[in-house]
Amino acid sequence: MNEITLIKPDDWHLHFRDGDMLRETVPATARCFGRAIVMPNLVPPVTTAQMAVEYRERIEAAVPNNTQFTPLMTIYLTDKTTREEIKAAKAAGVVAAKMYPAGATTNSDAGVSGLDSLFPVFEALAEEGMLLLIHGEVTEKHVDIFDREKEFIDRHLVRIVEKVPSLKVVFEHITTKEAAQFVMEAREGVAATITPQHLLLNRNDLLVGGIRPHNYCLPVLKRNIHQEVLRAVVASGSERFFLGTDSAPHPKHKKEHCCGCAGCYSAWSAIELYAQVFEELNALDKLEGFASLHGPKFYGLPVNTETITLEKSPWTVPDEIALPAGDSIVPFFAGQTVNWKLKG
C-alpha cells in the first residue's frame, strides 16, 4: 500500500500555548487536523468562559487563510470552580473541562488539590453535556513517578466514574497497561486518548545512552510492557481509544535546561507517525477509526467531511523549527525518518 486516504482527523488533546507561539503551532496542527481540543494550562490558566472565548479568538486569528480549522475550547478546573462557571462555559461554546492535579505537569500549579469539593462541578458538567478531561496522576512526592497513573486510577478515577454515572470522562494520554484495562472495562462514557510518543517510545528512549530531554513528557514514558499494551489496544480498533497528540511546544533552551520542561512537539509529524505505528502493527485499516471517527462519536460531534491523503514517501523530521520570536523548537522525532508523508 503506497497511499492512504482518511476522513480528515481531529486532535483530541493539544497544547497551542499563546502569543507569538500561535503563529507556529496553529498552522502546524491545521495542516492536517480539522479540529483540536485545546488545553487551557496557559499562564494564567483559562479558568473562565470569557478567557476561553478570548483565547479562541487568538487561535482563530492564527489559522492560515483558506484553511478550515475549528479550535474546541476547554476550561481549567481549580478548587474554586463553581457550577455557575460551568454553565457560563457551556453557553460560550466550551465543550469540556480539564482537571489537572496540582503540580502534575506544565503550568498546573493552580490545579486541583482535593476532589471532594469538585463533585458538584462534575455533576454540573454532566447536566450541561460537557466532558471531563483528566490528567490522571497523583502528585505526592513519595509515590514513584512510574506508578502515579495506576495510583490515580485506584484512588480517584474509579470514584469519579462511579459517583457521576452520566458524566463523560476522557482519561488523557494514558501510558500504562492498568489505564488501558481500566478504560476497556469501565462503564459507557469512558474513553482515552493516546499520544504518538507513548506508542513509539518507552523509558529506554528517555534514559539509555544519556538523558534525552526532547523525549521527556508527562506522564513520563513507561517500560516497554506498557507500550506494547497501548499498541495492542489501538490495533484492536476499540472505539474507546482515539487520537490525542498532547503536542506541547517548548523553546529549545527550556527543554535543554537543568530542569527541562515536559512535552513533545509532534504537530508537524503526528498523523504521519501514527500511520507508521499502525503500519508496524499491520493495522492500517484501523487508523481511520482511531484518527477520524472514534473521537467525534464520543464527543457527540459530526465527522469531518474533508479527507487527507498520506503517501509512502520517507522524509526526515527537521532538527529544529524556527519560532517567530527568534528562538527554536526541537520537534518530536527530530532528525529521524518517517515513512509516511501528508500529500498535497
Of 154, 205, 246, 285, the active-site residue reads: 246
Distance of alpha carbon 45 from alpha carbon 42, whole angstroms: 4
Question: Dihedrals φ, ψ of 229, to 5°?
Answer: -65, -40
CA distance 117 to 86: 15
Cell numbers that stand for 227 in this block? 507500550
Return all residues near 2 (Cβ < 8 A) that are at least 6 apart. 311, 312
Q: Does the annotation flag 250 for ligand binding?
A: yes
15 is in an annotated binding site: yes
Sequential DSSP letters for 57-93: HHHHHTSPTT---EEEEEEE--TT--HHHHHHHHHTT
Q: Is 156 annotated as a binding residue?
A: no
Cell numbers representing residue 24 in the block = 507556529
- Residue 133 marked as a ligand binder: no
41 is in an annotated binding site: yes
257 is in an annotated binding site: no
Residues in the chain: 344
User: Is 155 labelled as part of a ligand binding site?
Assistant: no
Give yes or no: 246 in active site: yes
Three-state DSSP class for residue 126: helix
Q: Do the annotations mark residue 294 as ligand-binding? A: no
C-alpha cell at 231: 499498541
Q: How far apart are CA 161 and CA 126, in angstroms?
A: 11
| CA distances in angstroms from 234 to 98, 150, 164, 200, 268, listed in the order given | 23, 20, 27, 12, 21
Indicate the annotated binding residues for substrate: 15-17, 41, 135, 218, 250, 262
Indicate the annotated binding residues: 13, 15-17, 41, 98, 135, 173, 218, 246, 250, 262
Indicate the annotated binding residues for Zn(2+): 13, 15, 98, 135, 173, 246
User: Would you please indicate which residues are annotated as catalytic (active-site) residues?
Assistant: 246
